[in-house]
Structure 1
Amino acid sequence: MAAQDQVGAIYSFALVETAALVPHEQVEQERLLLLVKQIESDGALYLPVMVDRSSMVILDGHHRVNALKLLGCSLTPVYLVDYRDPSIIVTQWRKDVKVSKQAVVAAGLSGRPYPPRVSRHLWGVPPRERPVPLSLLRVFASRHA
């Protein structure tokens, strides 16, 4: 199912194998543990992870992916996007590290991810929440085990 935003980017919703997702940033452990508690309390993941459809590099949602792993979910709700779309912009949180779309993908595919909170992605229109219950992700996880 795809939703077209105002500037033409396509967000395609999918449930994908978590193992297929490629991180381009590391995570902060303290923040990760807080998110695990929050997702477990909510009983659902509300905002899918943003992923480049051609490389499967995670663009936004590294902590969510790792939280789902810790919660025993082998599938992750994602929005697949065409990272080449000019409405998707990448900037940096930190001044000491320069980023570009090519560098983000390279960091993921090289297996040498950036430290946490380096890249910041801006979407033409922010992606919508699409709650997926943990019970559903865990049912699928048990079928794939």
Structure 2
Amino acid sequence: MRPRIELLEAAIPVPHERVTPARLAIVEEEVRRIRAVVKPLVVDEETMLLVDGHHRLMVLRRLGARRVPVVFIDYARDIESVAVNLHGASTRRLEAVLGAGGSHTRGGRGVVVVRDPAVLVEELARRIYPPKTTIHDTWAKRVIWRVPLSLLY
């Protein structure tokens, strides 16, 4: 199967995590310096959930980009596993979703590895969680597509 990669309107991807100011500044400096984005955002084709690239999306929106480079995935098929960092009260709803179903393993320091990630997609699309609440394992994060900023305005 060939991945679907294209430029998407910047307003469409649905973030599920906040960004950190320090990381945002680093990403913005890099994007401005090379005048390009090297990795596309990873977006679930059905829900438009932003799976990877929250800082890149916020930088591009801040810079006024009308479009963003994305690689589309099928969340249920293309996500191999998800590590979920349970941060207490701010992730209580995620913990309830995990308790209701799905195969997962508890790790140390409040980390849960979810082996049936489909149980998460709807919940992630509903709320904004703390930075780095989820770490998705997917082939799509390895895609490289250097897109000059000039193509995004």
TM-score after normalising by structure 1: 0.78
> Do the aligned residues in 2 keep the contact of 1:24 with 1:104 (CA within 8 Å)?
no
Q: Root-mean-square deviation (CA), in Å?
A: 2.1
2:54 to 48, 62, 65: 62
Identity %: 33
In the aligned structure 2, how far is the partner of 1:57 from the partner of 1:67? 17
Q: Report the CA distance between 1:124 and its aligned residue.
A: 4.3
1:1-145 paired onto structure 2 within 5 Å: 4=1, 11-85=3-77, 88-93=80-85, 95-96=109-110, 98=112, 100-108=117-125, 110=126, 112-124=127-139, 126-138=141-153
**Which structure 2 segments of 5+ residues have no match?**
87-108
Structure 1: which 5+ residue stretches go unaligned? 5-9, 139-145
Higher alpha-carbon deviation: 123-132 or 86-95 = 86-95
TM-score after normalising by structure 2: 0.74
Contact 2:85 2:110 (8 Å CA) reproduced: no
The answer to whether the 8 A contact 1:15-1:77 is kept is yes
The CA deviation string for residues 23-59 of structure 1, in whole angstroms up to 9 with x for no partner, is: 1111111110111111010110000000100000000
Deviation per residue, 1:31-89 (Å, 9 max, x gap): 10111111010110000000100000000100010010111102110000011116532
C-alpha displacement at 1:104, in angstroms? Answer: 4.2
Aligned length: 128
Kindly indicate which of the two structures has a greater share of residues assigned to helix: 2
